[in-house]
Amino acid sequence: MMSILVIAEHDNQNIKEATLHTVTAALALGNNVHLLVAGFGCAAVVTQAASIKGVVKVLAAVHSVYEHQLPENMALLIKEITFGYSHILMSATTTGKNIIPRVAALIDVQPISDVISIESQDTFRRPIYAGNIIATVRSHDAVKLITVRATAFDAAIIKGNSTLVEVIDKVYDFKKSEFIRDDLAVSERPELTSAKVVISGGRGMENSENFKLLERLADKLGGAVGASRAAVDAGLAPNSMQVGQTGKIVAPELYIAVGISGAIQHLAGMKDSKIIVAINKDADAPIFKTADYGLVADLFEAMPEINEKLLKYID
């Protein structure tokens, strides 16, 4: 029986939420799902990986060359273990997009990016043209290499008991690339891509200080704070908060767009949200065409009022 390999994304301490969603996509292809954890000092990740429901085997490649999941070393490693796998999947995050195409070229496969639906073993659906078109595609390659859009699949659950772990002692060091540093945004709030509530600000926020209006609401609702490209370009928010075609794709229960006009590139990142609220003083802003509830108002009046009155409405 052919197996399915999922490449885990992690920071050597915790497995990324997106990987759990990718495991669910893998389970739609078959039951024999293996998970590769390549990292360094990542024992906790291996333990987490071994307790994901549906994963029957964890492959652990633990060495300093894999510490930062540099694509050069990861691709050489994955290439060596492809034998016996019909599908290799990774989340369509910046890490997955960095690694999977490199592996694919090494084994002469045309990968499928950003899969949102698995129709059969070889047929998948994926958005193109900023999500304005959904293409149904069939791969003719012997091995399918896929990146998975996390918001399109539920997260696999962590079940507690643990599965088999196989150690891989292969060490691949490409040597021509070197990790210098990470400058990661630290936030106590949930990850944007998995938050149940996302409140995003656009250029209408005027300055970064005003994002506190959104943070206050996010904290009351247990949500995350995002931003439009215009807001990030203007320096109002860091790139890690960008929602859109080239930023993060989110699909929360509730998305609140504040001072965002609604360019199609932004809509590409949030239009699959269940309920969309738009708050904008411009009644003609295109965002209102995609919103379930539109409030034409000055955000600097509406947001404090929402923050004040919300407690009456939430339990």
- CA-to-CA separations, 93 to 271, 310, 311, in angstroms, rounded: 18, 34, 35
Task: Tell me how far, at minimum, the Cβ of 121 lies from other proteins, in Å.
Answer: 14
For other proteins, the closer CB: 57 or 271: 271
Amino acid letter, residue 31: N
In whole angstroms, give the CA distance from residue 202 to residue 232.
8
- Calculate the CA 309 to chain-centre distance: 32
Neighbour-count burial of 235, counting CB atoms closer than 10 A to its CB (0-12 exposed, 13-18 middle, 19+ buried): exposed
Task: Tell me how far, at minimum, the Cβ of 119 lies from other proteins, in Å.
Answer: 9
φ, ψ (nearest 5 deg) of residue 81? -110, 15
For other proteins, the closer CB: 23 or 114: 114
Task: Tell me how far, at minimum, the Cβ of 162 lies from other proteins, in Å.
Answer: 27
Q: Are 279 and 185 in contact (CB under 8 A)?
A: no
List beta partners, residue 277. 256, 293
The one-character DSSP state at 282 is -
Task: Tell me how far, at minimum, the Cβ of 215 lies from other proteins, in Å.
Answer: 17
Task: Tell me how far, at minimum, the Cβ of 163 lies from other proteins, in Å.
Answer: 27
For other proteins, the closer CB: 54 or 131: 131
Q: Are 234 and 203 in contact (CB under 8 A)?
A: yes
Continuous segment of H or E residues that includes residue 76:
helix 71-80
Task: Tell me how far, at minimum, the Cβ of 56 lies from other proteins, in Å.
Answer: 28
For other proteins, the closer CB: 1 or 185: 185
- CA-to-CA separations, 226 to 61, 184, 236, 239, 293, in angstroms, rounded: 34, 15, 11, 10, 19
For other proteins, the closer CB: 175 or 209: 175
φ, ψ (nearest 5 deg) of residue 278? -120, 135
For other proteins, the closer CB: 58 or 195: 195
Q: For the chain, how big is the Rg over CA atoms in Å?
A: 21
For other proteins, the closer CB: 43 or 128: 128
For other proteins, the closer CB: 33 or 115: 115
Task: Tell me how far, at minimum, the Cβ of 54 lies from other proteins, in Å.
Answer: 24
Around Cβ 161, how many Cβ atoms within 10 Å?
Answer: 7
Q: Are 29 and 4 in contact (CB under 8 A)?
A: yes
Task: Tell me how far, at minimum, the Cβ of 168 lies from other proteins, in Å.
Answer: 20
Pairing state between β 55-62 and 33-39: parallel
